[in-house]
């Protein structure tokens, strides 16, 4: 993937855009405006914003003039499309267009010097267009206009090898999230353009462009094949390079035809062997698990049996001691008599 550097500040207005902005300025200029005394200044060049990011619109009076009690309105295309409205020293979000609600923030730290900044968050493709800001008071009204360009560099391309088709190899590419409409180009190893077999670039639900394109690479266009997707507004592109060996491109030779005819069944056989091997491994693991469980059960049963026998033997040993003690009472009496005699002596 190759990304070309881009400078957002280098974007200059085209002649058509400049003419349109100048025409709108003439149409909206109020009669009797003291333009020679006070002017409204906005961005000098078109602003380039990326989808999902934030952009700032700076407007100020020249020479400096306190604008705290003025009405300041930002609008899109014409004054009825209110982007943000400041009136009677307060902001009026209820007057905004629905598309801009909860997406704007007014920075008025320098409003006393006639300078204000409007921040627009979460840029979307529909934000593209002509914008203006108007300062209005009892004795002054003036506007400034500029253009907002919107761009998005899409996702990394997903490249697929579809298989053999029409004597060659079919490659397919998909990508999404582009704005404006991107340019797609396939090239061979010599840099020559390869005509796409199929190409579709459509809008998605977010107003961005998604694309799908495919090409059939035939013998003679071997080695490196590249595909690039370019955003002309950003002067950036994403590029993939695919290396294709000659052996994979079917030709007229018999061995290549045989290879093409044999490859699909061979792949199926390999897949079947792999599946059988995996199933065999799974059955073997299940069998070993069952054997281990049986050995554990058998061992537990033997331990219980030994414990029972040990308890029985202990009980038998106590019983024998009791029997011996109960069959020698005379000896015990005689011993006691001897002891008594000895004491009398």
Domain boundary among 112, 132, 151: 151
Task: Report the pLDDT value the prediction gives residue 292, as an integer from 0 to 100.
Answer: 84
Backbone angles phi, psi at 311, to 5 degrees: -60, -40
Q: Record the tokens describing residue 288, joined without a space.
A: 């070993």
Domain boundary among 128, 151, 174: 151
Indicate if 173 and 238 belong to the same structural domain.
yes
Indicate if 132 and 178 belong to the same structural domain.
no
C-alpha distances (whole Å) from 303 to each of 22, 133, 190, 308 are 100, 92, 80, 9
Backbone angles phi, psi at 156, to 5 degrees: -60, 135
338 within a domain of the structure (yes/no): no
Q: How far is CA 313 from the centre of its chain?
A: 74
287 within a domain of the structure (yes/no): no
Q: Is 192 helix (H, G, I), strand (E, B) or coil?
A: coil
Provide the residue-wise pLDDT of the chain in tens; the chain has 345 residues: 334 333 333 333 433 444 444 444 444 444 334 445 899 999 999 999 999 999 999 999 999 999 999 999 999 988 889 999 999 999 999 999 999 999 999 999 999 999 999 999 999 999 999 999 999 999 899 999 999 999 999 999 898 888 887 778 889 999 999 999 999 999 988 888 999 999 999 999 999 999 999 998 876 555 678 999 999 999 999 998 887 765 455 554 444 444 444 445 555 556 556 666 676 777 788 888 888 888 888 888 888 888 888 888 888 776 665 555 555 444 443 433 343 333 333
User: What does DSSP say about strands 104-107 and 115-120: parallel, antiparallel, or unpaired?
Assistant: antiparallel
Indicate if 80 and 181 belong to the same structural domain.
no
Domain boundary among 134, 151, 168: 151
165 within a domain of the structure (yes/no): yes
The strand ranges marked E within the chain are: 39-41, 47-50, 55-62, 71-76, 82-87, 90-91, 104-107, 115-120, 129-137, 140-151, 158-165, 168-178, 183-187, 193-194, 198-203, 209-218, 223-231, 236-244
Task: Report the pLDDT value the prediction gives residue 133, as an integer from 0 to 100.
Answer: 96
Give CA–CA dist 216/248, Å, rounded: 13
Indicate if 61 and 126 belong to the same structural domain.
yes
59 within a domain of the structure (yes/no): yes
Task: Report the pLDDT value the prediction gives residue 341, as an integer from 0 to 100.
Answer: 36
266 within a domain of the structure (yes/no): no
289 within a domain of the structure (yes/no): no
Task: Report the pLDDT value the prediction gives residue 315, as an integer from 0 to 100.
Answer: 82
Give the number of domains in the chain.
2
C-alpha distances (whole Å) from 25 to each of 29, 44, 318 are 6, 14, 118
CB 38 within 8 A of CB 137: no
Indicate if 49 and 129 belong to the same structural domain.
yes
Task: Report the pLDDT value the prediction gives residue 48, as an integer from 0 to 100.
Answer: 97
Range of the domain at 220: 158-245
CATH code where residue 195 lies: 2.60.40.10
Indicate if 87 and 122 belong to the same structural domain.
yes
227 within a domain of the structure (yes/no): yes
Indicate if 43 and 147 belong to the same structural domain.
yes
Backbone angles phi, psi at 285, to 5 degrees: -65, -40
Task: Report the pLDDT value the prediction gives residue 222, as an integer from 0 to 100.
Answer: 54
Q: Is 1 helix (H, G, I), strand (E, B) or coil?
A: coil
C-alpha distances (whole Å) from 270 to each of 18, 142, 266, 277, 278 are 65, 77, 6, 10, 12
Report the predicted TM-score, pTM, of the whole model to 2 decimal places: 0.60
Place of tokens 């590029």: 239
Indicate if 147 and 220 belong to the same structural domain.
no
Q: Which of 72, 70, 43, 77 is CA-nearest to residue 58? A: 43
Indicate if 85 and 163 belong to the same structural domain.
no
Indicate if 117 and 178 belong to the same structural domain.
no
Task: Report the pLDDT value the prediction gives residue 274, as an integer from 0 to 100.
Answer: 65
Place of tokens 């491109």: 249
Give CA–CA dist 143/74, Å, rounded: 10
329 within a domain of the structure (yes/no): no
Give CA–CA dist 73/133, Å, rounded: 5
Task: Report the pLDDT value the prediction gives residue 332, as an integer from 0 to 100.
Answer: 42
Task: Report the pLDDT value the prediction gives residue 168, as an integer from 0 to 100.
Answer: 82
Preceding peptide of 63 cis, ω within 30°: yes
Indicate if 52 and 99 belong to the same structural domain.
yes
Task: Report the pLDDT value the prediction gives residue 7, as an integer from 0 to 100.
Answer: 35
Indicate if 165 and 94 belong to the same structural domain.
no
């Amino acid at each position: 993937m190759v990304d070309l550097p881009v400078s957002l500040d280098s974007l200059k207005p085209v002649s058509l855009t400049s003419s349109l902005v100048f025409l709108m300025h003439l149409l909206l200029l109020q009669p009797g405006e003291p333009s020679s005394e006070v002017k409204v200044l906005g961005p000098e060049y078109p602003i380039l914003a990326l989808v999902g990011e934030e952009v700032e619109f700076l407007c100020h009076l020249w020479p400096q003039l306190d604008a705290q009690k003025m009405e300041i309105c930002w609008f899109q295309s014409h004054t009825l499309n209110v982007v943000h409205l400041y009136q009677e020293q307060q902001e009026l979000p209820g007057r905004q267009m629905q598309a801009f609600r909860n997406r704007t923030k007014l920075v008025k730290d320098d409003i006393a010097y006639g300078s204000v900044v409007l921040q627009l968050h979460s840029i979307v493709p529909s934000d593209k267009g002509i914008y203006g800001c108007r300062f209005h008071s009892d004795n002054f009204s003036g506007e400034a206009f500029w253009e907002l360009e919107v761009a998005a560099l899409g996702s990394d391309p997903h490249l697929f090898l579809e298989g053999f088709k029409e004597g060659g190899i079919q490659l397919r590419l998909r990508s999404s999230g582009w704005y404006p409409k991107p340019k797609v180009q396939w090239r061979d190893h010599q840099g020559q353009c390869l005509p796409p077999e199929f190409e579709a670039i459509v809008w998605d639900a977010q107003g961005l462009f998604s694309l799908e394109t495919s090409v059939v690479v035939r013998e003679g266009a071997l080695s490196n094949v590249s595909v690039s997707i370019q955003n002309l507004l950003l002067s950036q592109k994403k590029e993939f390079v695919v290396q294709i060996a000659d052996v994979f491109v079917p030709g007229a030779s018999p061995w290549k035809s045989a290879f093409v005819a044999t490859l699909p069944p061979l792949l199926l056989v390999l897949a079947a062997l792999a599946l059988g091997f995996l199933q065999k491994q799974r059955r073997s693991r299940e069998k070993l698990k069952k054997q281990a469980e049986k050995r554990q059960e058998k061992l537990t049963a033997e331990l219980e049996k030994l414990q029972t026998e040990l308890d029985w033997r202990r009980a038998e040993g106590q019983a024998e001691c009791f029997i011996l003690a109960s069959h020698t009472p005379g000896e015990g009496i005689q011993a006691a008599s001897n002891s008594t005699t000895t004491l009398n002596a």
